Chain A
Amino acid sequence: MDLSRRSFLKLAGATAAAATLTGVGLRKASASPSEPLRIKFTKEVHTTCTYCGVGCGIICNVRDGVIVNAEGDPDHPINEGTLCSKGASIFNMSYIFDEKGKPRLNPNRLTKVLYRAPGASDYEAVEWDWALEEIAKRIKDTRDRTLVETVDVGGQQVTVNRTNAINWLGSAWCTGEENYLFHKMVRAMGVINVDHCARL
């Protein structure tokens, strides 16, 4: 048996007092079984802000599958840790804190398609399939009804294939690529009033 001097003295019961940090007052509170410290595990997850085309980096703190905090990513080359007021509140897109400070699903978050019929005062929940069908049908009806194929320019008929009855507003929530595709789609339909709610 390989005995160090310390082990030998310990066996002989002839040692000086053990010199620990506790011995000089540095008590580790977590060592106490009477007052155990409860641990909360959190994951940090990268994401990109969806509010506008700037594409700021965000770090979300996720605990037990729930986002508990969202903050600007300091390592992101675009925003370097900062966020605008909308981006800073992006946490609330999914969750709100209740009066006890616990995150709860935001009750104002839309999870269904809401439709208000012409003349109606209230919204009603409708199915996605119905809504998409209806939007496509109405766009096509409006476009077909109002399409101007040619206009007179100096006594000559010039083909224009356009409608003034539809205005298309692109979204800053979409990516540049998505907005490009929207633009192509509506131009193909003859829409000439195209705008974008850019927040750049």
Chain B
Amino acid sequence: MTKSLYEKCQEEITRCKKLYKGFSDSSPFISSACSAVYEYFKEHPVAPLPAYDKEEAADMIRAGNSLSLNPNLKTRAAVGLLKKLGEVIAKTNPKLKATVNELDEHLDQFLLDSPEEVAKEELFNLRDFLIKETELEEDLATFLFSIMLTSFYRQYLQATSGVLRTDLWERGDCPLCGTKPHYGQLRSEDGAKQLECWLCGTQWLHTRIKCPYCNNTDMEKLGFFTVEDDEKVRVNYCQKCCQYYKIFDARKFHADGGVVLAIHNLASLDYDLLARREGFTPGSGLEWVNKDEIVEAQD
């Protein structure tokens, strides 16, 4: 995490405290987690991967093919950052110390059993394993692994991100790494829907009335919900594929660009729960809701 991104995150946390009811309680944890990530990369800097050839990248995007850049991560670095975030959890809630220690043991074992570099998919397998074998629940696991992965991806792909022609991209998945988005925004200047990759941070425009997951454009099957007296967060859903994503209406923030949507996502997890209870699944595959939270409402 660069210093400027770290500073932007802290500013966004302050803004979100005013915008989202109840976020003040959770903001100290998010703020500490951001600081931990920033500190970690100050001690262990990451070099960006060489940029993709600009013309070649433009040709691929024009042809409708994502660059699908998915570099392997250094196992030691990934585990190191996860442990650092674990320290923040234990510090925030000392009752979770035993659970964090248990996680650390599994992470040490993973480090011993794995090669020097691992693919993103192997880290997702590790996440699933930890959910199964430890007291780590789905939502916190998603937090830990998504923060860890996005921190590396944003830095690795930084050079190519700078030459990417996102204006030529019309698909719903990320033009840079191929990941399905979890959130986006309605741009403050014109209300255009701009999706953002939760993994590498790439932003691109997408047709307002279209599902980014199944490309459905049937207006009868598409829609969004908001909660009463609050129009800044929309949960867009598709009744054809039964998936959802969140859209933050930047026109309601009165922010002059540069909104860190990842923070808004964390501040609006209520909406993920509501969407899950309405029977929609996250199109991104990021599960921010625990099973017992969904079941509670059905009882």
Binding site for B on A (CB under 8 A): 4-6, 15-21, 23-31, 33, 37-46, 59, 71-75, 80-82
State the Cβ distance, B216 to closest chain A Cβ, in Å.
13
Instruction: Contact check, A28 vs B293: say whether CB atoms are below 8 A apart.
Output: yes
Select the residue from B21, B225, B269 with max chain A CB neighbours within 10 A.
Answer: B269
Give the complex CA separation of A4 and B130 in angstroms: 11
Instruction: Contact check, A41 vs B225: say whether CB atoms are below 8 A apart.
Output: yes
Closest Cβ neighbor of A43 among chain B residues: B223
Contact of A24 (CB < 8 Å), options: B29, B190, B223, B296:
B29
Instruction: Contact check, B219 vs A15: say whether CB atoms are below 8 A apart.
Output: no
- CB-contacts of B86-107 with A (<8 A): 89, 92-93, 95-96, 98-100, 102-103
Instruction: Contact check, B21 vs A21: say whether CB atoms are below 8 A apart.
Output: no
Closest Cβ neighbor of A61 among chain B residues: B224
Give the complex CA separation of A29 and B225 in angstroms: 16
12 sample A-B contacts, Cβ–Cβ < 8 Å, listed by A number: A18-B135, A20-B137, A21-B139, A23-B140, A24-B26, A25-B26, A26-B266, A27-B26, A28-B272, A39-B226, A41-B225, A43-B219
Whether B112 sits at the interface, judged by CB under 8 Å, is no
Chain B residues with Cβ below 8 Å from A5 are: 133
- CB-contacts of B2-40 with A (<8 A): 21-22, 25-26, 28-30
- CB-contacts of B50-95 with A (<8 A): 89, 92-93, 95
Chain A residues with Cβ below 8 Å from B44 are: none
Instruction: Contact check, A23 vs B95: say whether CB atoms are below 8 A apart.
Output: yes
Give the complex CA separation of A4 and B28 in angstroms: 34
Give the complex CA separation of A143 and B166 in angstroms: 61
Give the complex CA separation of A31 and B297 in angstroms: 8
Contact of A72 (CB < 8 Å), options: B22, B93, B98, B191:
B191
Contact of A6 (CB < 8 Å), options: B103, B135, B296:
B135
Chain A residues with Cβ below 8 Å from B296 are: 31, 33
Whether B49 sits at the interface, judged by CB under 8 Å, is no
Give the complex CA separation of A91 and B103 in angstroms: 56
Chain A residues with Cβ below 8 Å from B266 are: 26
Instruction: Contact check, A40 vs B228: say whether CB atoms are below 8 A apart.
Output: yes
State the Cβ distance, A61 to closest chain B Cβ, in Å.
9
Would you give the 0/1 interface string for B178-196, flagging 1 where the beta carbon is closer than 8 Å to chain A? Answer: 0000000001001111000
Chain A residues with Cβ below 8 Å from B139 are: 20-21, 26
Whether B290 sits at the interface, judged by CB under 8 Å, is yes
Instruction: Contact check, B26 vs A26: say whether CB atoms are below 8 A apart.
Output: yes
Give the complex CA separation of A16 and B105 in angstroms: 14
Query: When A23-B95, A26-B29, A27-B22 are in contact, do A39 and B207 touch as well, CB less than 8 Å?
Result: no
Give the complex CA separation of A134 and B278 in angstroms: 56
Chain A residues with Cβ below 8 Å from B96 are: 16-17, 19, 23-24
Contact of A17 (CB < 8 Å), options: B95, B103, B133:
B95
Chain B residues with Cβ below 8 Å from A23 are: 89, 93, 95-96, 140
Contact of A82 (CB < 8 Å), options: B89, B190, B222, B228:
B190
Would you give the 0/1 interface string for B139-161, flagging 1 where the beta carbon is closer than 8 Å to chain A? Answer: 11001000000000000000000
